[in-house]
């Protein structure tokens, strides 16, 4: 650092005072590469900051007050102003979604513990027979955050393959139906195998990703959910209703639970029927 620049340099204490960042925070941002000092004195190890770094430091401080991770802060700071605004908005939308899930989890737990809670939704559960059905399927390992995007992409891949094979499911009585079969517990913290199936008739060969198989005839206990209720964790109420029905009527679960979507997302309103939550059952004990 030239002599005149050195005289303008700020010690870590002065830089901390001007930016509102603590010594501890400045050392952390140095180690992370987010806000390294302009120079470190080779003799005494003192950190010296340039006045031009104050604006960046204040922006780091503001972003960190949002609890934004250091890696995300670095991405934002390296972008142009328009991209910075877009990235911050996208990140905050994600935070709001996490807050929504946590808030609704609290509501869900309260309503499960307090069976008389007026906010606890009521679901009508019945049984129905499902005939033997040929399906094209893709299985993926997903967690709660990747579930919708991953399985929706898999369903589109299947429909594209069936269309090129000369199979039009909409004209064969299946409409836009697709099944999401849960072969394990999907949570925000752990992955589990989920299989998306599209029922069809007619010619279709398997591919490297797509399996063609026959779903055996069976009986399901099921309930209907609206599009609004399909969001996690709201949909847990429907699963619990089906589980209680199976338990209380002495049915025997047989195979993994599933969500059966029978219409397109864009074709229905938030309060319109959108899917079944279903549990295959083996028999009724008399």
User: Does residue 45 sit in helix, strand or coil?
Assistant: coil
Q: Rounded to an integer, what distance in angstroms lies between the CA atom of residue 60 and that of residue 98?
A: 23
Tens of pLDDT, residues 230-248: 988 889 999 999 999 999 9
User: What per-residue confidence (pLDDT) applies to 43?
Assistant: 81
Tens of pLDDT, residues 1-11: 444 445 578 99
Architecture of domain 126-284: Alpha-Beta Barrel (3.20)
Average pLDDT estimate for 145-155: 94
DSSP symbol at 51: G
What number does CATH give the domain 3-76? 1.10.1660.10
pLDDT band at 187 (very low <50, low <70, confident <90, very high): confident
All structural domains of the chain with their residue ranges = 3-76, 79-120, 126-284
CA angle 156, 235, 109 (to 5 degrees): 150
Average pLDDT estimate for 10-17: 92
Average pLDDT estimate for 195-199: 96
Residue 56 has pLDDT above 50, yes or no: yes
pLDDT band at 171 (very low <50, low <70, confident <90, very high): very low
pLDDT band at 113 (very low <50, low <70, confident <90, very high): confident
User: What per-residue confidence (pLDDT) applies to 7?
Assistant: 58
Across all residues in the chain, what is the average pLDDT? 89
pLDDT band at 169 (very low <50, low <70, confident <90, very high): low
Residue where the block lists tokens 């994600």: 94
User: What per-residue confidence (pLDDT) applies to 172?
Assistant: 46
Helix spans in the chain (H): 3-8, 12-19, 23-31, 54-65, 70-77, 81-113, 147-164, 236-248
């Amino acid at each position: 650092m030239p002599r005149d620049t050195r005289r303008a340099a700020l010690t870590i204490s002065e830089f901390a005072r001007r930016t509102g960042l603590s010594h501890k925070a400045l050392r952390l941002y140095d180690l992370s590469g987010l806000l390294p000092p302009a120079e470190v004195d080779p003799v005494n190890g003192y950190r010296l900051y340039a006045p031009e770094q104050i604006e960046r430091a204040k922006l780091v401080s503001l972003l960190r007050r949002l609890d934004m991770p250091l890696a995300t802060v670095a991405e934002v700071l390296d972008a142009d102003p328009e991209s910075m605004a877009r990235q911050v908005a996208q990140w905050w939308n994600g935070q709001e979604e996490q807050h929504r899930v946590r808030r609704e989890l609290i509501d869900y737990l309260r309503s499960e513990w307090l069976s008389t809670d007026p906010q606890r939704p009521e679901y009508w559960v019945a049984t129905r027979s499902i005939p033997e059905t040929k399906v094209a399927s893709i299985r993926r390992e997903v967690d709660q955050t990747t579930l919708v995007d991953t399985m929706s992409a898999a369903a589109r891949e299947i429909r594209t393959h069936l269309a090129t094979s000369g199979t039009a499911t909409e004209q064969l009585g299946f409409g836009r139906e697709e099944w999401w079969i849960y072969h394990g517990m999907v949570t925000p913290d752990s992955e589990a195998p989920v299989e998306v199936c599209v029922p069809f008739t007619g010619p279709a060969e398997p591919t490297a990703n797509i399996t063609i198989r026959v779903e055996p005839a069976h009986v399901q206990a099921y309930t209907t959910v609206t599009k609004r209720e399909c969001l996690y964790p709201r949909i847990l109420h429907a699963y619990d209703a089906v589980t209680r029905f199976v338990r209380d009527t002495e049915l025997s679960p047989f195979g993994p639970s599933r969500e059966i979507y029978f219409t397109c997302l864009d074709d229905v309103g938030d309060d319109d029927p959108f899917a079944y939550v279903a549990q295959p059952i083996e028999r009724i004990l008399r």
